[in-house]
Structure 1
């Protein structure tokens, strides 16, 4: 039975019950909806991202780090589009496909995305995209209620000072400008209205980074203080911990679950706030998070946080059955006697990779928290080097190129149908995911899929295009069930749910693609660009 813990978030509905709406009939309501309902279709990042917190104003570039984890479909700063793809081409233009009303149709702004002014990067939320152009202007499209159309588009198209980076919640965008000030647009209840914090975000004290939960933002300023806005119960209000976030004990990084934030201070201590069912307080383990030993990084499920300390031990808090409690025999395996190197997550379970190549799991058993069936394979005799996940299942890549899976069988936890291809005879070099399916990239440039067929687990219709005759170099996904493989010739092959971008109808003309917008892997531009012999796109 799904948990009925409430995430007090804004859920936008675009039709009346039983009625197909016309545009004039579209409306939205605010609801207290269970987190599990919000995550019926979700994806946990296969490549986690972490952004450098350098001194302002040097380049705020995005760098890939597999150790940073966010809630499903989120990297700590940006939310993944549920329904559509946006591809950046070598000439600086953008092509889109997928559900039209969620950003799959960009015809209304085609003249702004044709490369006349080159696009340097594309960002997303659940139902909209925002393209950052080389002149510091921004073009948006998709669902108007999610920031696809701004109230004053000219402020973005002719932004002065120039915009240098973009962040998102599920339904809103926030833009960081070169003077350290911030703009926001989209759903007001998801952070699209920052009037309550406008004076603190005007650049007088420069903002250097922005983080997000599902419906709230947290801006880290140059003096180490934090400013929040958005849904009050999703971390948009930090009044209860205002004294801890005033910069006296500088915050250096902020992590997030679906409805809560956790600030890492320079002394290695932690301050959480937000929804209690998402880890918004750590009263039970506060004494273990006081900086002795210091916390070095944090991972999260939708409901809980897990902090990795400098001694290699792990401390967890949040929903006790969704990864927020480490007790009994598991606690002795995470006490640092064998150091934990990285922590990965599904929606409600964690997997800790230890220095000996073994993996320890905890949390919701149906979401990968129980790994008894593959315990022998995860002992480290063949070391695990990285762990990937769907919403309810994990996949561990081992040093010999083989893959071990566990968790919900319908979400990729059962890979027996393709077991021979995952044994390592042809090494797996990377794994990608949608909400309920995995796609493994092999060393010969071919692709193997498993999991829910509708969510991309069945690629038989495009098997010939994924057989390695033209190498696949990277795989991208939408949040609700489609994959798109970028091949070495710049072409794209898509499969999965056709209503969510899993089709190739509009892709025949889309050659020489550099990368696709995706919060988890679109920052890995250097390795992609090198494939095509060009410099990576960077925000300057």
Structure 2
């Protein structure tokens, strides 16, 4: 039986939704999101009851003509190396991607309600609920049964690559996961974990900042802050930052920076104090082998950790920099410093420095984003300048005409995706790491933010729905959860139809290129042929007959070739091309033939 429900926002905007009484509340919410173009959270009845998304409208007691109030709530994404987890507007969670990297949350799905934030390790997720409890799933760190009774009144969660640490409201800490990555707290350390105000994590260890300005570390032995002169140096600490990709911590004090835990012993307790300048609170960047901090006066202090990298570093350039306002680093140790006048200077690995003509374009820069080894800078007019290795998105020439009115950029390991003012998206870089969004381009509208795994992207639209592309095994494929992500089947099918059509057109044009190549090869062969002695002349009658036979055979072959080139791609194109998430791109390609060229970087 069909019924009508009026969904209204606190702002006064409203829409009338027609649904059946057997439809789920979640269906009502998704339809309202589409019509109101807003991410909707809880739905509340006129009597003040909260509607549960898994209940039908009949079970919820809704009748034809009823009015419900919708509370706006932004959707949020978290990502491991190979999977995504979406907190929907109603506080429920959808996960997809590689199952071993947290892409399957079915075992804890019923517990994933009223979630307010999610933290990600390399292959596991930890969801913090409104009541302070924690739900985990995935690989290393995804199993928290041993400490579940302690996971209450949690206010913050941090993650190394293989473990999690939760800060509770009483200042105590609970850890779980791989012991070698901080998942086990030694007894002598646990006794000192009191009055903790902040937790940070690098790849292998955790550091806790206490209320008295001292720090406590646990995890990998090289991250220990209790050796040598470090305990005396680590007093009156304002904040701590970590290298998320590798080893190392940096503590910022009022007048100095203390670094420890990097692989090279020189930085085990490294100390920097350039002229006694006060440092910007938490104003630093850390890569795998270096760190840089900015003083309040705009001076830069840089240190590099591994001797085998130092040959490619130019520290002298850092001492010349003044009026630095912002820093951005790539994982491989190059820093981009934005100065107050909008120009950009690069410090670190000389191999990642921009060319001279690129440096001339780096003016009026307002924001810089980086991936593993390349950079993308947004200028005040919304244009974008890129530099770094081409196979990491450092060259954007083929999309330069599209990179206008850009307001934000997200990066995967080796690709970039830019959001424009109109909500459209431009991606570049290797296709296998998300650099090609053409297969879902028609769906990339009204995008407000983008998240990434190592090799795939996910874009949240203003209505809370999500579009994905990139590596199908790392979250780039989401057709199996498209409804939960707020996309309609018709939308996915239309996007797929247009992508298949583009692929067929590209395939049809391939014989032309092959023919051109053949002509070039023949033209190059003519000089050699001219040098060969001409065959003796034969009687004209036989010669003409033979020429006619050759021409007829050639015409027959030519027609056959043309017909085959046009028909084969069409006949091989399946009516419905879908890839199971358990398939690897290579396996899917073998099973679906030429159409997999489209979906190896698609997903949608």
TM-score, normalised by the number of residues in structure 2: 0.64
Match of 1:76 in 2: none
Q: Conserved in 2, the CA contact under 8 Å of 1:306 and 1:324?
A: no
Paired residue total: 403
Match of 2:173 among 168, 171, 182: 182
TM-score, normalised by the number of residues in structure 1: 0.71
**Do structure 1's residue 134 and structure 2's residue 109 form an aligned pair?**
no
Distance 1:278 1:508 in 2: 50
User: Alpha-carbon deviation of 1:364?
Assistant: 1.9
Q: Conserved in 1, the CA contact under 8 Å of 2:346 and 2:353?
A: yes
Match of 1:152, SS state, is helix
**Do structure 1's residue 295 and structure 2's residue 282 form an aligned pair?**
no
Question: Structure 1's 80 and 194: CA in aligned 2 closer, same or farther, altered over 3 A?
Answer: farther
Q: Conserved in 1, the CA contact under 8 Å of 2:94 and 2:485?
A: no
Distance 2:469 2:103 in 1: 15
- For each residue in 1:105-145, what CA deviation from the matched residue of structure 2 results, as whole angstroms up to 9, or x when unmatched? 001111111x2xx11111111000001111111000001xx
Superposed counterparts of 1:230-269, under 5 Å = 230-233=219-222, 235-244=223-232, 247=235, 250-257=236-243, 258-265=246-253, 267-269=254-256
User: Alpha-carbon deviation of 1:280?
Assistant: 3.0
User: Alpha-carbon deviation of 1:481?
Assistant: 0.4
Structure showing the higher helix proportion among its residues: 2
Match of 1:155 in 2: 149
Superposed counterparts of 1:16-165, under 5 Å = 81-113=80-112, 115=113, 118-143=114-139, 146-152=140-146, 154-156=148-150, 159-160=151-152, 162-165=153-156
User: Alpha-carbon deviation of 1:342?
Assistant: 0.5
User: Alpha-carbon deviation of 1:295?
Assistant: 2.2
Match of 1:251, SS state, is coil
User: Alpha-carbon deviation of 1:365?
Assistant: 3.5
Match of 1:314 among 300, 318, 338: 300
- For each residue in 1:333-384, what CA deviation from the matched residue of structure 2 results, as whole angstroms up to 9, or x when unmatched? 41x2xx0001101012100000110000022234x33443401101x2xx00
Match of 1:415 among 396, 406, 410: 396
Question: Structure 1's 369 and 322: CA in aligned 2 closer, same or farther, altered over 3 A?
Answer: farther
Distance 2:318 2:169 in 1: 45
Match of 2:182 in 1: 191
- For each residue in 1:201-251, what CA deviation from the matched residue of structure 2 results, as whole angstroms up to 9, or x when unmatched? 453xx0000111210111000011100000012x2443224432563xx10
**Do structure 1's residue 363 and structure 2's residue 348 form an aligned pair?**
yes
RMSD of aligned alpha carbons:
2.2
Question: Structure 1's 270 and 210: CA in aligned 2 closer, same or farther, altered over 3 A?
Answer: same
Match of 2:264, SS state, is helix
Distance 1:305 1:88 in 2: 33
Match of 1:472 in 2: 447
User: Alpha-carbon deviation of 1:326?
Assistant: 4.4
Superposed counterparts of 1:298-447, under 5 Å = 298-319=284-305, 321=309, 326-328=314-316, 330-331=317-318, 333-334=320-321, 336=322, 339-347=323-331, 348-366=333-351, 368-378=352-362, 380=363, 383-422=364-403, 424=404, 427-447=405-425
Distance 1:436 1:187 in 2: 28
User: Alpha-carbon deviation of 1:153?
Assistant: 5.0
User: Alpha-carbon deviation of 1:429?
Assistant: 0.7
User: Alpha-carbon deviation of 1:277?
Assistant: 3.5
Question: Structure 1's 333 and 402: CA in aligned 2 closer, same or farther, altered over 3 A?
Answer: farther
Gaps of 5+ in 2: 1-77, 488-604
Match of 1:210 among 190, 199, 202: 199
Q: Conserved in 1, the CA contact under 8 Å of 2:365 and 2:377?
A: yes
Match of 2:210 among 221, 225, 234: 221
Distance 2:266 2:378 in 1: 29
Distance 1:222 1:151 in 2: 30
Distance 2:250 2:328 in 1: 17
Q: Which has the larger radius of gyration?
A: 2
Distance 2:121 2:86 in 1: 15
User: Alpha-carbon deviation of 1:331?
Assistant: 3.6
Match of 2:158 among 151, 160, 167: 167
